A and B are shown apart, each in its own frame.
Chain A
Amino acid sequence: MPFSVTQVLLGINGILVIGYFALIAVVMSYAALTVEFSQSVRSDEAVVAALETQYLNKVAEVSTTNFTALGYTKPSAVAYVQAKSGTALR
């Protein structure tokens, strides 16, 4: 079969066209995944923020608790004692 420049060029052209469409597909998938992942990270952060809000509210609640109103009384006397080692306490 004789060598045909036209057929070689057509072949190259075909490969380039396929490559072009493949590239577009990759770019679009990449962009879609980037957006999706970013939004998913932000959504997760929002969930964490909601938990953090609960945590900080609890900290504030503990700080403002009036233990006397709950029936607890202040100790009548406070004595400081020397701390003993963990071994001695066993």
Chain B
Amino acid sequence: MRSQFRFRLRLILVLLLLVAVTIFVRLYFLQIIRGDDYSQKADRQFASSGSGLFDRGSIYYTLQDGTLISAATLETGFLVAINPQTIENPEMVYRAIAAVASSTLSYDDFLVAAAKKSQVYIEVAHHLSDAGGKSLAAQKIPGVQVLRERWRVYPGGDLAAQSIGIVSYGNGNTLAGQTGLEAEYDSVLSRSSDALYKNFFAELFSNVGDVLVNARDAHEGDVITTIEPQVQTRLNEDLAKVNKQYSSKESGGIIMDPATGAIIAFATYPSYDANDRTGVNPKLLGNPLVEHVYEFGSIMKPLTMAAGLDAGVITPTTTYNDVGCIHVDQSTICNWDLKGRGVIPMQQILSQSLNVGASWIATKLGPDKFRSYFTNLFGQKTGIDLPAEGRALLGNLKSPREVEYDTASFGQGIAETPVQMIRALGALANGGVMVQPHLVSAIRLNSGITRTLDWSATQHVFSKEAAREVSTMLTHVFDNELAHGADKIPTTSVAVKTGTAQLTNDTGGYHKDRFLHSFMGYFPSYAPRFIILLYTNDPKGVEYSSETLTSTYIDLVHFLIDYYNITPDRNLSIQ
């Protein structure tokens, strides 16, 4: 019994020794024979999990048939990092990386990085393609780590770049939306760091509520805009042409559905390529259409006319005596050609764009009523879903001086943002009701539910009759006055008004020879599908907006009629 016990003890001892020897041999192989390999592997794993992969929701354009096209999405590839302490031949390493990385990898910069022997991790190349990254990793170059990376891409490049916005580090150390929709909807687009790697069972034991009803899924998702990429492209190109042709400081345009406030295109020139912002002037990152204010000039006259009609101080058949120039509060207000027209009806104020006529309506309204109408139109921000919206400058409407109201009646002395202007003008196209301009129609949540945003808030500013009467006048302008009626479309009624405003100078006065040209219009006139606002700032060698922006407007009208197959609203007799 005792010898049997001893035998068992020795057997266990031998087994333990065998296990110990096996472990020792295994450790020898792991640490000595293949130590370097495992060390590098561990290095890569540490770096990879330490940095994590960037994740963010997408932003979409919406084609007219409802198809979604990415405006901002993610691309996956590789980054290359080096460990200067273990690099053996920097020149050979550079050649290997440069063969798969973009040409922007500078040889000198790489050598400087490789010489930093006190550091163990320096990223030298980003945004490698999948194939390039894998081929570099397969070479197993000592001191070179090829790690997974994900980054933001904008398939449209400069298409609505200022509206879509950008993602960057800003002041913090996490990537976040800084401008445009990227900033406005950052809470929807940004992703919790653990979202990708969440562990169902761990969550089940630690947080049952989150598994059953995930709070993040209720607010994280993708953003669906109302921007139509083909229309946006057309507007982009048209504005670029105008800006280049007249060497303007900048040009801008908005195309909106006046009934809903959905913005179809929202463009400015110059813009920038959202995928390559190297050397971009930071001023371009903002959006002039919501942040800057302009004195728009005569496109304000239809609003003055609508206010007069709505208040009942004039009717379409009312006449006045146009003397060409009037003297108000020691200032002189004149028509553009300094000429009087005699006794003429209201239509002529819009047809011939008469400043004296607009001032006459303002005088008929009186300061209180004029202030009330224009404060309703421009006194508040539009609430558009973009950051840093500016406020209109309406200080002149607090003045007791009549001349301030007279100049405001034809769009000088008060300044508005382009988006405020199109919202106000949209009331003429929408039965006297202002809508809320917006760029995002819905949020597609991670839970799979699409949440439509509510933009139904409206503001009644003019009577339906007043809006219709102004529409009739503006249609007359297009059919008979603009290019002497040469652009009239027999099948579709179109309403237009041009504007030419003097630019302010540094001394508080106005330049005699520098202008902002504006152009507004909507069609079909009595049930409009689209309202368009265009402007070009400080065009050279040309005086009136009818010369700079008419062809742009006509091109957009014909494009939209064709693209949206807009039903004719005029009876065309067979010829």
Contact = CB atoms under 8 A, between A and B. Distances in A.
Interface residues of B, number: 35
Contacts of A46: 73-76, 153
B200 A56 contact: no
A43 B74 CA distance: 9
A39 interface: yes
B75 A31 contact: no
Interface in B273-328: none
Contacts of B197: 31, 34-35
A72 to B, nearest CB: 16
A30 B491 contact: no
Please indicate which of the listed interface residues A26, A43, A56, A63 has the most CB atoms of chain B within 10 Å of its own CB: A56
Interface string B189-203: 000000011111110
B274 to A, nearest CB: 12
B75 A59 contact: no
Contacts of A13: none
Interface stretch (B135-143, B212-220, B230-238, B500-508): B230-238
A81 B572 contact: yes
Contact of A52 (B70, B572, B574): B70
Interface residues of A, number: 29
Interface in A23-57: 23, 26-27, 30-31, 34-35, 38-39, 42-43, 45-46, 48-50, 52-53, 55-56
B211 interface: no
B345 interface: no
A4 interface: no
Contacts of B237: 60, 63-64
A56 B76 contact: no
B200 A59 contact: no
Nearest to A23: B201
B155 interface: yes
20 contacts: A27-B200, A27-B202, A30-B199, A30-B200, A39-B76, A42-B76, A46-B73, A46-B75, A48-B70, A49-B70, A49-B73, A49-B155, A56-B69, A56-B157, A56-B159, A59-B230, A60-B236, A60-B237, A81-B575, A83-B568
